[in-house]
């Protein structure tokens, strides 16, 4: 029988200022009986590598199942029409040749709206960039000027959410100063009581390959997009977070061969999870290529490629 604890981490997507690093990446503990936040210091920072703050309640006891008023919370999904307004490419330009022609002629309509796409067009073949935009359904929002919408769409083409990220158009790096620019479309739209249930980024593309084929899995959405341009023979997916390398999100990959590429310093954690899941019928190979490289801690495959090029 599963154990119910008096306190647990808030399962919603709400974040607070971390008491250690002062970034808005802090998940608080809640009292499962009152559904109220416990205090300002008990919780976990999502910046696992850069901060690592995690303080558990001092007296977190197991309670009787009947003493907790559990309410089954159903996940919320976006309607397709809701996110159409965040498309990066004009809907009237559906012909691929026309789109490629537009980009190749230097019309900056797309680039002015989206910093990440601007970066891609500066560094990679425009035709391949266009393919990646369509493949991952990259969106654009004015939540921050030039921000990108990274849609999380499952294998049934159900839209779980749209993560908003702001990148630097010259370096391709995330904008983290004066604060980390990460949010969600449901917050921008102020959708009340939206319950986010995450899925792997790019998961909808799994329908384009046969079971038993190889899937490459990384943490960063940006890395998945760029690697799909650099190594298009593989299907690239992203967890969107170091902590999202877990069975709940990886279940759709059980009938495929998976090569996981954890960021540098994360190999031991991801490899431990891989070994456990392989005992349950998964086929995951955890690569240590980044762990043995000379790139900085926290670096990913794109950093490795760039270091080898220069």
Look up residue 178 and give its DSSP letter: S
| Phi and psi angles of residue 97, each rounded to the nearest 5 degrees, phi first | -60, -40
**Any idea which residue has 């499962």 for tokens?**
32
**Tens digit of pLDDT at every position of the chain (310 positions):** 334 667 888 877 678 899 898 888 899 988 877 778 888 888 999 887 778 888 888 765 544 443 444 444 688 999 888 777 888 776 444 444 444 554 554 434 454 479 999 999 999 999 999 999 999 999 999 999 999 999 999 999 999 999 999 999 999 999 988 888 999 999 999 998 899 999 999 999 999 999 999 999 999 999 999 999 999 999 999 999 998 999 999 999 999 999 999 999 999 999 999 999 999 999 999 999 999 999 999 999 999 998 875 3
Strand partners, 49: none
* pLDDT at site 93: 44
Q: Is the peptide bond between 114 and the residue preceding it cis, with omega within 30 degrees of 0? A: no
Look up residue 57 and give its DSSP letter: -
* CA end-to-end distance (rounded Å), the chain: 55
* pLDDT at site 60: 59
* pLDDT at site 70: 45
* pLDDT at site 122: 93
């Amino acid at each position: 029988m599963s154990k119910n604890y008096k306190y647990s981490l808030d399962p919603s997507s709400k974040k607070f200022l971390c008491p250690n690093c002062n970034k808005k990446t802090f998940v608080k503990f809640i009292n499962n009986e009152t559904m109220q936040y416990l205090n300002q210091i008990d919780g976990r920072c999502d910046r696992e590598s850069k901060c690592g703050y995690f303080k558990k309640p001092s007296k977190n006891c197991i309670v009787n199942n009947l003493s907790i008023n559990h309410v089954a919370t159903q996940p919320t999904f976006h309607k397709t029409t809701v996110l159409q307004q965040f498309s990066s490419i004009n809907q009237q330009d559906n012909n691929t040749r026309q789109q490629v022609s537009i980009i190749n002629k230097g019309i900056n309509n797309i680039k002015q709206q989206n910093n990440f796409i601007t970066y891609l067009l500066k560094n990679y073949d425009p035709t391949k960039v266009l393919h990646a935009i369509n493949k991952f359904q990259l969106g654009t929002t004015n939540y921050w000027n030039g921000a990108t919408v990274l849609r999380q769409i499952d294998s049934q083409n159900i839209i779980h959410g749209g993560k908003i990220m702001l990148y630097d158009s010259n370096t391709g790096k995330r904008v983290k100063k004066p604060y980390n620019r990460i949010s969600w479309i449901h917050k921008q739209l102020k959708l009340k009581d939206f319950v986010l249930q995450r899925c792997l980024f790019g998961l909808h593309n799994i329908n384009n390959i046969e079971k038993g084929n190889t899937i490459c899995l990384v943490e960063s959405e940006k890395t998945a997009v760029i690697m799909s341009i650099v190594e298009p023979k593989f299907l690239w997916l992203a967890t969107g977070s170091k902590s999202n390398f877990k069975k709940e999100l990886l279940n759709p990959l059980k009938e495929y061969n998976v090569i996981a590429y954890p960021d540098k310093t994360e190999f031991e954690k991801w490899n431990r999870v891989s070994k456990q899941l392989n005992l349950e019928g998964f086929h995951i190979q955890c690569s240590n290529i980044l762990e043995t490289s000379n790139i900085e801690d926290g670096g990913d495959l794109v950093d490795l490629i760039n270091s080898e090029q220069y």
